Amino acid sequence: MNKDAILATLIGFGIGLLITGILLVSPNLTKFLPKINVPTAASTPTPIPTPSQFSVTVESPLADAIENTADLLVSGTTRPGSTVVIAGIVDDTAVTAQTDGKYAGKITLAEGKNDIVVTSYAQSKQVHQTITVYYTPESL
C-alpha cells in the first residue's frame, strides 16, 4: 500500500474513534451541566375569572374548526345579563346571557374562511373575541 492510503485509513480510524467516544461519554457529561428550569404551559396556573372581570369566551366551535353545515351554533360564557352580538360574514345574532353567564346563538356560514366576532356589552363596557371557522359543504 502506498503512504496516502495508509494515512487516509489512520485519519478515518481516528475520526471514527473520536465520534464513538463522544457518543459513549456525552450522556454521562450531562449530569455536570447546570439545570435549566423552563416553565411549561401545564405548570402555569390558569386565571379563574372573577365576577369583577368582564370577559367573553367562545366554547363552541373550536378555533380553526372545519364545519360541513352552513348553520353554526356559537356558545360560550360572559357576564350574566349582558348582551352578546355574534357577527359572521353572512349575518349576525344578538342574544342575552343567562343568569349563569352562558349564551348561545346561531349564525350562517359562507363557504371558505369565516371570521366570527363575539362581542359582549354590559353597562358602558364591551369586550370581544374573534375565532376563525372554515365551512365546506363537502362531507368530511
Contact at 8 Å (CB) between 80 and 51? no
pLDDT given for residue 52 in this prediction: 56
What pLDDT score was predicted for residue 102? Answer: 92
pLDDT value of position 1: 66
* C-alpha cell belonging to residue 109: 356560514
How does pLDDT run along the chain (140 residues), one tens digit per residue?
688 888 999 999 999 999 888 888 877 777 777 777 766 655 556 665 555 578 888 998 888 888 888 899 999 999 888 999 999 888 989 999 999 989 999 999 888 899 999 999 988 888 989 999 998 888 75
The three-class DSSP label of residue 66 is strand
Query: Would you mind telling me the total number of residues written for the chain in this entry?
Result: 140
pLDDT value at position 27?
Answer: 74
Look up the pTM and report it: 0.59
Query: What is the Cα–Cα distance from 60 to 103, expressed in whole angstroms?
Result: 11
CA dist., res. 140 & res. 134, Å (int): 12
Q: What is the pLDDT of residues 48-87, one digit of tens each?
A: 555 557 888 899 888 888 888 889 999 999 988 899 999 9
Mean pLDDT of all residues belonging to the chain: 84
Alpha-carbon torsion angle 39, 76, 61, 91, nearest 10 = -130
Q: In a 3-state reduction of DSSP, which class is residue 27?
A: helix
Go through the domains of the chain in sequence order and give each one's CATH number.
Answer: 57-135 (2.60.40.10)
